[in-house]
Amino acid sequence: MIDRPLKLGTRASPLALAQAHLVRSALLVAHGWDETRVEIVPMTASGDRILDRPLAEVGGKALWTKELDRALMDGSVDFAVHSMKDVETIRPAELSIVAMLPRADVRDRLIGAANIADLPQGARIGTSSPRRAAQLQRLRPDLQIVLFRGNVATRLAKLEAGEADATLLAAAGLDRLNMPDIGTPINPTEMLPAPAQGAIGIECLSDNAPIRDLLAAINHADTFACVMAERAFLAGLRADCHSPVAAQARIENGTLVLRGEILTENGSEHQAAEGTDPAALAAELLGRASSALRAIFG
């Protein structure tokens, strides 16, 4: 039994803090603790400071995790909360994702038009996501992509200021920020989500058995299985921040089924399929792809 308050590390953005409070609340309920047992420790991630360049140009997804990783390794925090879609596929061996909360809405929401078909000819779409850019241009090659980085409020302000005609945001993030009525959800059959979208993960030191045991009480097994399958698919592709890739796993009658999609940057080529083995699905899509599409992956 750990007889001191536990320290939960998180990014300091409004969405990250909202997610940290969800994790804290789940732990308090699961263990019957009072509010003093878990202390939230916010820290500013490099990815929240660098907003004028695409993530892939300045360090990739590690910009969301390195400050939290350092805090875990030096003992400043006992565990850390992540948006799983922002966690790089290969993690340090000293750290382990050990629990996930039940997954929220996996869809994207379109803000600025009722649907993709209704966007004006040549409309400017604000996004920093290679996946969203490729999927949109596959559906509408006339669309122009404008770099949008920053938290939800920053992106909405840029849209309001006329820097783009529309943007896409994750439904889960908007819901967690109490913005359920903003934007129109896009069916995953039209735009397959990012791997791990909508999932909150909790990470700790791999060899910290007492913390692992405490976190196991809030792990949602189906979410964990699906998200880890999506991450295994990314690993099989050797995908990085430059790679337009989408994936969504689901449990059907006790069997995990994974749908994956890979695209060229402008969406001119895409390959999609379903399977039960993430590595085999990745190999199948790469095997079908042209040399230009394969070159985007490792």
d(CA 99, CA 181): 29
| Greatest CA separation for the chain | 62
What is the edge-to-edge ordering of all strands in the sheet holding 184-185? 144-146, 124-126, 166-170, 108-111, 184-185
Cβ proximity of 23 and 217 under 8 Å: no
Cβ proximity of 278 and 230 under 8 Å: yes
Instruction: Please list, residue by residue across 227-254, b when 16 or more beta carbons sit within 10 angstroms of its beta carbon and e when fewer do.
Output: bbbbbbbbebbebbbebbbbbbbeeeee
Centroid of chain to Cα 168: 14
The DSSP line for 201-223 is EEEEETT-HHHHHHHHTT--HHH
Out of 86, 105, 108, 240, the active site residue is 86
DSSP state of 269: S
Catalytic residue list contains 86: yes
The DSSP line for 97-157 is EEEEPPP----EEEESSSSGGGSPTT-EEE---HHHHHHHHHH-TT-EEE---S-HHHHHH
Looking at the annotation, which residues are catalytic?
Answer: 86
